[in-house]
């Protein structure tokens, strides 16, 4: 159902642990370089291979969000030291996918891992082959706040969008939010239906969150370059409009093969060139909209 396009920046949205393992085996992690950029206030963004990493650095120490793949942990630690930071005290997972939580166990000696309760359930699933040290130690249902480096860092659960365990992490003074894979720049969203994701959930999450966020907030997406509220608003509007085209056809009695054959209007072509192509997106919207 999901087609993987290996050249894409989002290629690592790899869901099933089996796929995760085979991807990890194929990737030349030795060649990956970790780059860092200041976002605003206490917050920096690290990029390498996998989901974007957020780092809060200040008088209280280091808190990090997501950790890409296990073979990259030493390089990520070195990049944090380069910024002047020590070993992380807290590690937050925006969700369970291996390109965001794959290095958990390598940070667990110093960092308390915090995530939504469904993240713990999924990482603990024996089918995913993770070690106990990879598990979040503190979990929550709706959200939690961490008071660190002079600001409230607000974790907000985003139910049933990308998965059923996504969290947005809002640095309220630095004026930055890390969206995890609830927002990826440019392409169609990956709706991981096997992990409780859905199109309508993703759209509803954005509607509620956008109403809370200041207009000038800086946004770290799950994948892709730093972004802002105007870009994220335009993106979710495209998702909402394209999903409506699909659900309108469903309401008119069209089958999935009919809708796939019809396709989406040309204006959405550029969204289908990355990790999630148009057929995968249509299928995911169709499937998640047919099950209440």
Q: Can you give the binding site for Zn ion, defined by CB under 5 A?
A: 13, 97, 181
Nearer to Zn ion, 181 or 278 (CB): 181
If 0-12 CB within 10 Å is exposed, 13-18 middle and 19+ buried, where does residue 99 land? buried
How far apart are CB 40 and Zn ion at their closest, in Å? Answer: 24
Determine the Cα–Cα distance for residues 156 and 94; give it in Å rounded to an integer: 10
217, 260 contact by CB (below 8 A): no
How far apart are CB 182 and Zn ion at their closest, in Å? Answer: 9
At a CB cut-off of 8 Å and minimum separation 6, what does 6 contact? none
Nearer to Zn ion, 97 or 157 (CB): 97
Nearer to Zn ion, 97 or 116 (CB): 97
How far apart are CB 266 and Zn ion at their closest, in Å? Answer: 28
Nearer to Zn ion, 119 or 259 (CB): 119
How far apart are CB 211 and Zn ion at their closest, in Å? Answer: 24
Nearer to Zn ion, 202 or 259 (CB): 202
How far apart are CB 291 and Zn ion at their closest, in Å? Answer: 20
How far apart are CB 5 and Zn ion at their closest, in Å? Answer: 15
For β-strands 61-65 and 90-92, DSSP reports them as parallel
Determine the Cα–Cα distance for residues 199 and 286; give it in Å rounded to an integer: 9
DSSP-derived letter for residue 112 is E
Provide the 10 A C-beta neighbour count for residue 272.
21
Q: Which of 108, 96, 114, 97 is nearest to 134 (CA)?
A: 108
Query: What are the residues facing 166 on neighbouring strands?
Result: 158
SS3 (DSSP) at 270: helix
DSSP-derived letter for residue 272 is G
32, 75 contact by CB (below 8 A): yes
Nearer to Zn ion, 13 or 191 (CB): 13
Nearer to Zn ion, 85 or 187 (CB): 187
How far apart are CB 158 and Zn ion at their closest, in Å? Answer: 12
How far apart are CB 49 and Zn ion at their closest, in Å? Answer: 14
Instruction: Work out the angle between the directed axes of helices 229-251 and 199-212 (0-180°, nearest 10).
Output: 150
Nearer to Zn ion, 12 or 62 (CB): 12
Tokens 């794959």 belong to residue: 102
């Amino acid at each position: 159902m999901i087609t993987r396009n290996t050249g894409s920046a989002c290629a690592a949205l790899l869901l099933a642990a089996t796929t995760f393992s085979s991807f990890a085996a194929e990737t030349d992690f030795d060649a990956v370089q970790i780059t860092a950029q200041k976002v605003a206030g206490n917050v920096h963004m690290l990029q390498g291979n996998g989901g974007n990493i957020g780092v809060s650095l200040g008088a209280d120490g280091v808190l990090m969000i997501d950790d890409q793949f296990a073979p990259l942990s030493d390089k990520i630690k070195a990049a944090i030291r380069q910024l002047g930071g020590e070993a992380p005290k807290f590690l937050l997972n925006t969700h369970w996918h291996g390109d965001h939580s794959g290095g958990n166990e390598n940070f667990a000696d110093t960092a308390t891992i915090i995530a939504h309760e469904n993240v713990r359930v999924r990482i603990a699933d024996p089918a995913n082959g993770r070690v106990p040290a990879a598990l979040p130690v503190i979990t929550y249902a709706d959200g939690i706040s961490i008071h660190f480096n002079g600001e409230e860092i607000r974790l907000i659960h985003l139910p049933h969008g990308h998965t059923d365990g996504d969290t947005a992490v809002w640095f309220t003074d630095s004026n930055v939010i890390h969206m995890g894979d609830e927002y990826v720049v440019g392409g169609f969203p990956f709706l991981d239906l096997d992990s409780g994701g859905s199109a309508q959930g993703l759209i509803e999450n954005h509607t509620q969150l956008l109403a809370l966020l200041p207009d000038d907030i800086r946004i770290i997406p799950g994948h892709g370059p730093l972004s802002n509220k105007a870009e994220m608003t335009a993106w979710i509007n495209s998702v909402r409009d394209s999903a409506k085209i699909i659900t309108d056809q469903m309401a008119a009695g069209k089958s999935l093969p009919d809708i796939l054959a019809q396709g989406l209007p040309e204006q959405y072509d550029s969204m289908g060139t990355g990790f999630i192509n148009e057929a995968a997106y249509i299928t995911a919207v169709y499937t998640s909209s047919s099950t209440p």
